[in-house]
């Protein structure tokens, strides 16, 4: 039976971290909200009054009777099944910890354009976004990217992988993270990418995986835009140089 992924149509957003794992594994899956009547089904799943578990928000995954919410939790669930997780227990918890650090970073990236909360539009919090963006560019972005770069530097010689000696879902998520940052903050990233050679190399490596390459060229891959997590607002992007 095909996995069913539930996520907002029209944006890569948080759902994309899950899609990349499904695509790399060549898994059979349905991107439900992009099918006829799919949005209605997604909303009904969240409002379900009888199912034991109804997710708070997309993305979530349905695998038969099992419903799994949250990107890191979905990837933990899929990781072993799709051959994209470490085989040992310590490695699995390391991968999940790294994925949750990506989650934290993605949350902060989102909050740059929504510092006052998700219920207001960007134009209603633009001044606050300008202030938050400065702090993000100067402190948070280098802190997170520096952390991942240092982490990658500790792996075995010649290998660029986040956990163990094989590709995992964490590598795919780090690829997407860099893609999103390049879209949202092109000036910042152009200036700062030389500081993170391993992250850049990992990104290039993932992009050339045959299934990922085919996926990126397909219509299934959604373009970044100003409705998602990674938004390009030129006024928030500035190289400090």
190 upstream amide cis, omega within 30 of 0: no
Q: What track of x and - describes contact with a copy of itself for positions 41 through 60 (by CB under 8 A)?
A: --------xxxxxxxx---x
Distance between CA 107 and CA 115 in Å, rounded?
11
Over 120-149, what HEC string results? CCHHHCHHHHHHHHHHHHHHHHHHHHHHHH
73, 168, 176, 203: residue in contact with a copy of itself (rule CB under 8 A): 73
> What's the closest the beta carbon of residue 70 comes to a copy of itself, in angstroms?
4
User: Is residue 101 close enough to count as binding a copy of itself by CB under 8 A?
Assistant: yes
H or E segment and range at residue 112: helix 89-113
87, 107, 195, 211: residue in contact with a copy of itself (rule CB under 8 A): 107
> What's the closest the beta carbon of residue 79 comes to a copy of itself, in angstroms?
12
User: Which three-class secondary structure state does DSSP give residue 200?
Assistant: helix
> What's the closest the beta carbon of residue 215 comes to a copy of itself, in angstroms?
26
2, 43, 44, 116: residue in contact with a copy of itself (rule CB under 8 A): 116
Of 138 and 226, the one with the shorter C-beta distance to a copy of itself is 138
Q: In what order do the strands lie in the sheet with 66-69?
A: 29-31, 3-6, 60-63, 66-69
10, 37, 40, 131: residue in contact with a copy of itself (rule CB under 8 A): 131
User: Is residue 69 close enough to count as binding a copy of itself by CB under 8 A?
Assistant: yes
Are 96 and 85 in contact by the 8 Å Cβ rule? The answer is no
DSSP secondary structure of 52-86: S---SSS-EEEETTEEEESHHHHHHHHHHHHT-S-
Of 104 and 226, the one with the shorter C-beta distance to a copy of itself is 104
Nearest to 112 by CA among 233, 9, 13: 233
DSSP secondary structure of 206-236: HHTSHHHHHHHTSTTSPPP-TTSSS---GGG
> What's the closest the beta carbon of residue 207 comes to a copy of itself, in angstroms?
25
Of the candidate spans 1-9, 35-43, 114-122, 203-211, the one that interacts with a copy of itself by CB under 8 A turns out to be 114-122
User: Is residue 14 close enough to count as binding a copy of itself by CB under 8 A?
Assistant: no
C-alpha pair distances (Å), 60 with each of 56, 80, 98, 178, 220: 9, 17, 20, 23, 18
Of 139 and 226, the one with the shorter C-beta distance to a copy of itself is 139
Residues that bind a copy of itself (CB under 8 A): 49-56, 60, 65-70, 72-73, 76-77, 89-90, 93-94, 96-98, 100-101, 104, 107-108, 111, 115-117, 119-120, 128, 131-132, 135-136, 139-140, 144, 147, 150-151, 154-155
């Amino acid at each position: 039976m095909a996995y069913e992924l539930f996520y907002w149509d029209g944006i890569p957003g948080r759902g994309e971290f899950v899609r990349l794992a499904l695509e790399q594994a060549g898994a059979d899956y349905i991107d439900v909200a992009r099918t006829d009547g799919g949005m209605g089904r997604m909303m009904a799943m969240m409002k379900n009054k009888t199912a034991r578990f109804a997710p708070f928000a997309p993305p979530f995954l349905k695998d038969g009777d099992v419903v799994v919410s949250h990107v890191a939790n979905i990837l933990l669930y899929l990781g072993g099944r799709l051959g994209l997780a470490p085989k040992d227990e310590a490695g699995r918890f390391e991968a999940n910890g790294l994925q949750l650090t990506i989650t934290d970073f993605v949350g902060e990236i989102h909050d740059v354009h929504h510092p006052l909360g998700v219920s207001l539009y960007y134009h209603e919090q633009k001044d606050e976004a300008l202030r938050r963006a400065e702090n993000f560019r100067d402190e948070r972005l280098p802190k997170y990217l520096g952390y991942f770069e240092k982490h990658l530097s500790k792996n075995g010689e010649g290998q660029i992988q986040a956990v163990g000696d094989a590709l995992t879902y964490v590598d795919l998520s780090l690829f997407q993270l860099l893609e999103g940052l390049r879209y949202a903050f092109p000036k910042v990233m152009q200036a700062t990418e030389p500081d993170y050679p391993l992250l850049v190399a990992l990104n290039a490596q993932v992009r050339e995986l045959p299934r990922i390459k085919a996926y990126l060229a397909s219509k299934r891959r959604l373009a970044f835009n100003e409705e998602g997590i990674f938004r390009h607002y030129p006024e928030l992007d500035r190289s400090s140089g």
